[in-house]
Chains A and B, each alone.
Chain A
Amino acid sequence: MGTIAQPVEGLRRPNIASADVQIPAVTDYEQVDREIIATLGFTKKWLLGLGVAVAAMLVGASAWIYQIYWGLGQAGYEPPVMWGVYIITFVFWVGIGHAGTLISAILYLFRAGFRTSIYRAAEAMTVFAVMTAGLFPIIHIGRPWKFFWLIPNPNWRLLWPNFKSPLVWDVFAISTYLTISTTFLYIGLIPDFAVLRDRETNPMRKRIYGILSLGWRNSDREWRHFAKAYLFLAAFSTPLVLSVHSVVSFDFAMSLVPGWHASIFPPYFVAGAIFSGFAMVWTIAIPMRKWFKLEHYITLNHLDATAKVVLFTSLVVGCAYMIEFFIAWYSGVRPEQEFFWYRVFGQWWWAAWIMLLCNMALPMSLWSQKLRRNPTWLWFLSIFINIGMWYERFVIVVPSLSHEFEPWQWGSYTPSWVDMSFLVGSFGWFFMWFLLFVKQMPVMAIMELKEIVVPKRKHAHDGGHH
């Protein structure tokens, strides 16, 4: 079956519809169990990676303690740029957190075949990305110990949050999204926990998997309920995929800041989030399929299918960029026009051009099937897209604030070492969770893979554990 994993040089392969992506190199259920469970063994390299991630996380954690003690002045804020790296990174991680639920829920409803191999990893990525993102609003506020005031909590003085404020909407959107995506991830894991439980020899771990699998016995009734619950949650998550980033975009669109005040923001942000989320899936899945020897699960056809999504969302995002410039010109509002000129030719021209290069120009390479099927290129492209999307948020947040209505208060912004520690720390925190995840839980949905495996007839009696 190597022919599918290794496309013939110079020969254009037939375009495989996303729905038809299969894993022909996987031939029986036992193979699925064996190969997926094999990824759970601890290795030295994994420990090293975890060590690096924890160290990076600690950089951020110590920066936070330092910042709480001294005040936000240690970050690089320069009024009027009152939001900086923290909000940029917040939006960045919320965006990353989009692909997972899109893949697991929306593509599930659309029966996209390429989803099966990648959805578990993407879903876990989503949960951890939202966990990372959720920290940033707290890091960013001046009195983080009062964060709970943004949450409606019964109190003696009957003080409630201001439901007009997009920041309160954020609180609801993010917490709902985190709850649902975590639940969705867990529900999908139940049958897999059962597989692990059955295969586990260590009594302690066996017991833990036993609890997590909720006594799953593989009965028809359980599968029937499971399928319904899964479908229900998929349907429930689907609007959230669209709503969360729309709400995040309201943080900007609801204000009157030139460069923020735009009705295109919700679809633009959702497209951008899916775009960056898929890029992050590549960043994780491409090394993972190699290191965990799962190339025949995440085939080039899978990558090809995801590349098409990236190409499409890149076009949407690029279109949104252009529309922003058009509307600025068309509006006739002088501060708006001056700002958009400033965005691409002003102080932060380089950031805007990084954004345009990484998000609009480089993804156009994906028109080439050859590049769509080149994991190395896709991995490097994913890094460019991650950088480009971080800069997209930079371009939205910083230049807009630095160049508002009042020219006397136009300013600048330079992140400090504290800001950068949080950026490093956020990656540390994210990868710490992800690395812990990959060694405790299967990175691919064993039960779903088994659904699409066509077992060889001659081993019909050895049909796995169902």
Chain B
Amino acid sequence: MSTEAGSGVKRRDFLKILGATGATTAVVGCSSEKVGKLIPYVTSPDNTVAGVSQFYATTCKECATGCGVLAEVRDGRPIKLEGNPEHPVNRGAICATGMSAMQGLYNPDRYRQPMLREGAALSPVTWDRALEVLGQKLGEVKSRGGAGSAVFLNAHETGSFPGFLDQWLSAQGMPAHLSVDTMAPAATISSNRAAYGVAWPSIDFKASALILSFSADFLDAWGHRVPQQLDWADARAQLEGAPKLVYIGARRSLTGLNADQWIPAKPGSEMAICNAILGRGTAAAAATAADVSEATITALVAAVKGAGSKVLALCGMNTPDAVECGTMVAEINKSNGSVGTTIKPAMAHAGYEGIASYLDLVDATERMAAGSVPVAFVRNVNPAHSMPKAAGFAEAFAKVGFKVSFSNMPDETSELCDLVLPDNHWLESWGDAVALAGERSFVQPALEPVFDTRSVGDVLITAARADGTIASRFAQPDYRSWMISNFAGGATAFATALTKATAPGSPVASRGTRNAVAARPATMSAGDGNMFVVVYPSATLGDGAGANKPWLQELPDPVTKIAWQSWVEIHPMTAKEMGVREGEHLTIKTAAGEVTAPAYPYMGVRPDTVAIALGQGHTAYGRFAMNVGVNAYALATNGFDSAGNLALGALKATVTRGEAHSPLVTTEGSARQHGRGIAQAMMAAAISAPEVEVEHHEIAGHVSQEFLPGLKSPVAADAQGEYANPKSKDKGMYNPEHPTKAEARRWAMTIDLARCTGCSACVTACYSENNIPTVGATYQGRALSPATWDERPGANIIKGREMAWIRLERYYEGNTNTENEFSPDFEARFVPMMCQHCGNAPCEPVCPVYATYHSPDGLNVQVYNRCVGTRYCSNNCPYKVRYYNWFGYGEPERRQYAWPEPMHWMLNPDVTVRGKGVMEKCTFCVQRIREGENRARSEERELNADEFTTACAQACPSRAIVFGDAADENWTVAKLAYDRRAYHVFKELNTYTAVVYLKKVNHPAPAASATA
């Protein structure tokens, strides 16, 4: 009873204040957490809002394609790369390699400053000192008259830089540079030039009816992957009118697995098949050469004839006769009259213009070996790794007087150099690229350089301006000003063009010329041995450039599903004959050298052939690349075809069984779906057939299936009441009339298996968007004893602990007796599998702490903070899409930390980095959903249909994934969910998933013989 009403503090108030201050003191005083800096800016630029992304349009430089990308920049740092929807080449799609450029940018092993050789090692120096050394050495070379013998190896690119570089070289009195792209399909380019007059005519899959691929892996690493895949998927999405693909080659690649028929021709027999098709040889001769049935060849010839001008024949071989063979393949197009229809030289891609041939490289190497090269420059080219060992590059390079590297990673070649002047990453640089003739795309920096690096253009200009004799030829102080000064319209037009990232026009400077290297006759000693070897570039790592990026290392190979490892593909029948089981080592020995890697029995390779991918076996190139796998370039002889391109194919080898055994770092469990209907397919002809009434099995205890006519599965379950049964009195967990309207939504996804090629870009997109840790690096394994750690690459993946929220399952159909017979007739089905966001989720009731529960808008939500890690949810998930943090992958102080400084700069601030001991899984990119909803709310409007999408759907170069609100018919997903081909995986478990798959569409083998 207060007696002093109105005067001073009442007792009750006093206690309140006391309590509040006491609690505050206790809370503040007891906090053991360090105060972290959330926002890097002290004073932010005017157009920056903390927590809101800005998108900078730039152009991907990871391969020669030149896709337009948007760098998502948050508070001054790029956090993700997305496809630029307005770019004509990739139309918003992006591949795994492109997205992984982020890990090149933030790679912890990048050169952090210039390096100068002192004795045996490279030591850090200042830029002043480095430029001084460069100037001094250039001066020495010039004064001795050696400039004319200089060699500049530049990673192939289009745009203005090659011209600029040649101008600089010519000012220095040096010959034009060599533009090196070891991943370019050189023989195809040569034969295209011969046949069509352009390096890369555009390919129109949609206009084709029959596609013949002679090892042209247009869905793996051959050509311009993203636009090819976009077109291919669009063509295949025509379902009944889709082009049929026949794949001819000794190994069934990802492209081969997407084909309707595989003709496993013996390596070296392609010419004979072309002859048969062109009527220059008999089917019998071709069949004998190719070791396939004569009926198949006859049927193939007939099918090509029947398709007329809708034939599209592609050649992606790299044998000594590849150019001749490619020319013959082009003749198939020509004789069928399909040039201009399916293959369009008039609409050429420009990405492969200006590539130096392998012979140029060999010539340069020979000159180096002869000691006649006084100075050599390399920039992001790594011939010490990505050239056959037989070429002897490393030994030759050592004889160069002074070696300068502009590379930004300490790769094998750069580590041999005397001076390293690390270039900026392309995300830190100005530049341009030309993907389609007459269309210029720009590269603009998305952040200040992460390290003390400088753009190569700036360095070259600085070096030239320091040299009084040529300074006048470089009026601009840096490369950007040089670009603007050459840009029509000047700085204003340049700034405008940047916002669109593309502008009509061509590179501002023309390339210099080199003295042509004398042509040499095609040489390659195939060698002898009992087996053929197919050496192919990895679809994920290329021939090694991708190996320093953990996303690409962790991304299972789309065909074999192996990561962080080299493997030898061998047919199960051959493996059985040799007594080799999966994981047992095989040694391949060719005339040039040998490699040893674990065996992967694969029914998609001929029994007389083994296959091995390039890309691994680095001895330098950073912590993620080193000591992983073997370098298959060791097998290649230094042979080349008639156009001087490296010949890798049709090598003969002796394959022997080794003693050791390494478990495969694979994400594959069973490659057969055991009749469980996970990857369903239907024949194209059945699509337009009258709908057959689906037989309903009334099973006691099951929900009545009446409301499921056809598929009509209740993806909108939450919005429409319990399991979407209109007769049900139970209207589900949430009130559909609720004012937030969240209850009225049902986020859902459709995945069109007729489009999906299995390329796995969605997987990397998810890693990037959702801060998923990679777990396969050599330092991330577990303890084998209290003192020793498992330091095998991919040790965690061997234990099945990969964290990919979305994975590509690859199931085989047919051909179950692979150990005893060889049959090319099997089918692969790819299923992207992620959290199905079940309407009736088995994971939810078993969680003891509500860490996983159902949100009103149909999401199956995982609350990391609440999770105690019983892992019961994962046990109860039929789809097995929950992933557990076995280690502190997200904790910097832990050994297994997945983002060593500065890699954590690319973490998405909208997504929690999970600590150890909690479960995680696909969230349907809930941060994007909420961002979209908030944006709509702040703009006082409703969400527009298809306003945003998930990271996987956004990246997908096949456009197979569609995300949206299934309860709102304006969204595309709401229509697709009721497609004739739609089905749920494990529908019989009554999980009422939000992910609807559309059945794959199969076509009869185009070249099936009547008897077969």
Contacts and interface: CB of A to CB of B under 8 A. Distances in A.
Interface of A: 66, 70-74, 76-83, 137, 140-143, 146-147, 149-150, 159-162, 164-168, 171, 251, 254-257, 334-335, 338, 401, 404-412, 416-418
A78 B848 contact: no
Contacts of B917: 71-72, 141-143
B668 interface: yes
Contact of A142 (B670, B673, B842, B916): B916
Contacts of B842: 255-256
Interface in B619-674: 668-674
A25 to B, nearest CB: 52
Contact of B874 (A80, A141, A167, A254): A80
B879 interface: yes
A143 B885 CA distance: 11
Given A83-B875, A256-B878, A334-B676, A143 B884 contact: no
Nearest to A338: B674
A401 B833 CA distance: 19
A78 B869 contact: no
Interface in B24-83: none
A71 B896 CA distance: 10
B883 interface: yes
Contact of B879 (A147, A159, A406): A406
A328 to B, nearest CB: 15
A167 B887 contact: no
B270 interface: no
Given A141-B869, A143-B917, A411-B800, A257 B876 contact: yes
B801 interface: yes
A408 B989 contact: no
> Of residues B678, B866, B871, which shows the largest number of chain A Cβ atoms within 10 Å of its Cβ?
B871
A89 B883 CA distance: 24
Interface string B967-990: 000000000000000000010010
24 contacts: A71-B894, A71-B916, A72-B884, A72-B886, A73-B886, A73-B887, A140-B870, A142-B868, A150-B848, A159-B849, A162-B845, A162-B849, A166-B846, A167-B846, A167-B870, A168-B848, A255-B875, A256-B842, A334-B675, A338-B674, A404-B880, A405-B989, A406-B880, A416-B783
Nearest to B672: A407
Given A142-B867, A142-B869, A408 B811 contact: yes
A408 B809 contact: yes
Contacts of B896: 71, 73
Contact of B670 (A71, A407, A417): A407
A256 to B, nearest CB: 6
Contacts of B874: 79-80, 82
A208 B918 CA distance: 46
Nearest to A252: B875
Given A66-B786, A71-B916, A256-B878, A78 B799 contact: yes
B875 A161 contact: no
> Of residues B867, B870, B887, which shows the largest number of chain A Cβ atoms within 10 Å of its Cβ?
B870
A140 B848 CA distance: 14
A66 B785 CA distance: 11
B850 interface: yes
A412 B797 CA distance: 12
A74 to B, nearest CB: 5
Given A74-B783, A77-B886, A142-B885, 18 more contacts: A72-B917, A76-B799, A80-B800, A80-B874, A80-B880, A81-B800, A142-B916, A143-B869, A159-B849, A166-B846, A167-B846, A256-B876, A257-B876, A335-B674, A406-B878, A406-B879, A408-B880, A417-B786
A-B pairs, 7 with minimum CB distance: A142-B869, A142-B917, A73-B886, A407-B670, A409-B880, A410-B669, A82-B871
A406 B918 contact: no
A190 B894 CA distance: 52
B782 A257 contact: no
Given A77-B886, A143-B917, A410-B669, A165 B811 contact: no
B198 interface: no
B670 A408 contact: yes
A405 B874 CA distance: 12
Contacts of A66: 783, 786
B847 interface: yes
A79 B884 contact: yes
A72 B867 CA distance: 14
B846 A255 contact: yes
A147 B916 contact: no
A84 B809 CA distance: 25
A259 to B, nearest CB: 11
B897 to A, nearest CB: 12
Contacts of A257: 875-876
A80 B881 CA distance: 9
A363 to B, nearest CB: 31
B875 A71 contact: no
Given A80-B880, A143-B917, A255-B846, A401 B875 contact: yes
A405 B849 contact: no
A159 B678 CA distance: 37
A142 B871 CA distance: 8
B641 to A, nearest CB: 40
> Of residues B833, B845, B880, which shows the largest number of chain A Cβ atoms within 10 Å of its Cβ?
B880
Contacts of B986: 405
Contact of B799 (A77, A142, A160, A409): A77
Interface in B829-860: 833, 842, 845-850
A41 to B, nearest CB: 39
A407 B812 CA distance: 12
Contacts of B916: 71-73, 142-143
Contact of A79 (B671, B845, B849, B883): B883
A142 B872 contact: no
Contacts of A164: 845-846
A161 B671 CA distance: 39
B695 to A, nearest CB: 16
B888 interface: yes
A66 B756 CA distance: 44
A399 to B, nearest CB: 13
A320 B1 CA distance: 71
Nearest to A149: B849
A72 B869 contact: yes
Contacts of B671: 407-408
Contacts of A81: 800
Contacts of B878: 256, 404-406
A171 B872 CA distance: 15
A420 B846 CA distance: 27
Nearest to B872: A167
B725 interface: no
A130 B670 CA distance: 39
B801 A78 contact: yes
Contacts of B883: 79
A167 B136 CA distance: 74
Contact of A73 (B676, B796, B871, B879): B796
A142 B918 contact: yes
Contacts of A168: 848
Contacts of A166: 846, 872
Given A74-B783, A77-B799, A165-B846, A256 B674 contact: no
B884 A408 contact: no
Given A142-B884, A411-B800, A165 B866 contact: no
Contact of B669 (A82, A254, A334, A407): A407
Nearest to B786: A66
Interface in B763-816: 782-786, 796, 799-801, 807, 809, 811
Contacts of A167: 846, 848, 870, 872
A394 B876 CA distance: 18
A162 B869 contact: no
Nearest to B669: A410
B871 A83 contact: yes
Nearest to A165: B848
Nearest to A66: B786
